[in-house]
Structure 1
Amino acid sequence: MLALVGLAACAPVPPDRTGVAFRPDAGGLAVPETGRRVDFGRAPAGVVAPLTRELGPFDPLPLATCPDAITQRLRWGDLELTFTQERFVGWRQGAERAGQVCGG
């Protein structure tokens, strides 16, 4: 029993979320609280990591309705982002969208 308590104490603690909001706009995502941006053209790792840290895990979506260049389609809640192999290229949230997105 004591060994289990010791193991639980070693479990990694998830990073604290800061409550940062990501606001989609014509150029990518604005981060109003900080004045920063996550613009179209950024490498996928530079987009996925902060969104996952702040919004939690993403859901991967199928690529069947996507243009050929899209290699990743990820969703956090109602925010869907699309990526090529090297870049963040689009978002969709409800009926709103910007950049290169998948159909459907």
Structure 2
Amino acid sequence: MRALFAGVIGLALLSACVQPEGQTRQKHQGVEFAPDAQGLAVLPSNQRVDFGRSPKGVIPAMIRELGRPTAMSLNDCPAGITQRLRWADLELSFTSERFVGWKRGTEQQGRVCA
């Protein structure tokens, strides 16, 4: 599991492009995060960012690949959610210790805010 996460971070570290402020990318150098029942698949690789991972690892990797997120309000969030971040149409929910949910359009998985 650690090797898998290290691979995701390694992919993220390979990014070197600068993004104009205020814009978000869907992909960077062919890497895309595809939400599914267990968290996020990292395409086209077979690597993953699954629910339960620490925000300290997930958020920096997402920022490297997709740019800075928009912090969302915690109104209408289940108890325990302490951070809600959005990259374009992908929204991730976190407790203080874990990645717990995603929302994209009408689809969602895990613990998300209304």
Instruction: Sort the TM-score into its range (normalised by shorter chain).
Output: 0.7 to 0.9
The TM-score normalised by the length of structure 1 is: 0.82
Indicate yes or no: 2:37 matched with 1:36: no
Partner of 1:24 in structure 2? Answer: 35
Partners of 2:64 and 2:80 lie apart in 1 by 26
**Gaps spanning 5+ residues in structure 2: where?**
1-14, 18-27
* Residue in 2 that maps onto 1:91: 102
Q: Which residue does 1:15 correspond to in 2?
A: 16
Larger Cα-atom Rg: 1
The code of the aligned residue for 1:20 comes to V
Native 8 Å contact 2:77 2:112 kept in 1: yes
How many residue pairs get aligned? The number is 90
* TM-score w.r.t. length of structure 2: 0.75
In 2, Cα distance between equivalents of 1:32 and 1:78: 17
Q: Is the 8 A contact 2:81 2:96 kept in 1?
A: yes
Runs of 5+ consecutive residues of structure 1 not aligned to the other structure: 1-13
Q: What does the per-residue CA deviation read over 1:55-102, in whole Å, with 9 as the maximum and x for residues that have no partner?
A: 111000000110120000000000000000000000000000000000
Q: Secondary structure at the match of 1:45?
A: helix
SS state at 1:22 partner? strand
1:50 pairs, out of 32, 45, 61, with: 61
Distance in 2, Cα, partners of 1:30 & 1:36: 6
1:68 and 2:69 aligned? no
Please say if residues 90 and 104 of structure 2, whose CA atoms lie closer than 8 Å, have aligned partners that are also in contact. yes
**Which 10-residue stretch deviates more, 47-56 or 78-87?**
47-56
Whichever residue aligns with residue 64 of structure 1, its letter is N
Q: Which amino acid letter does the alignment assign opposite residue 53 of structure 1?
A: R
Query: How large is the Cα RMSD of the aligned pairs?
Result: 1.2
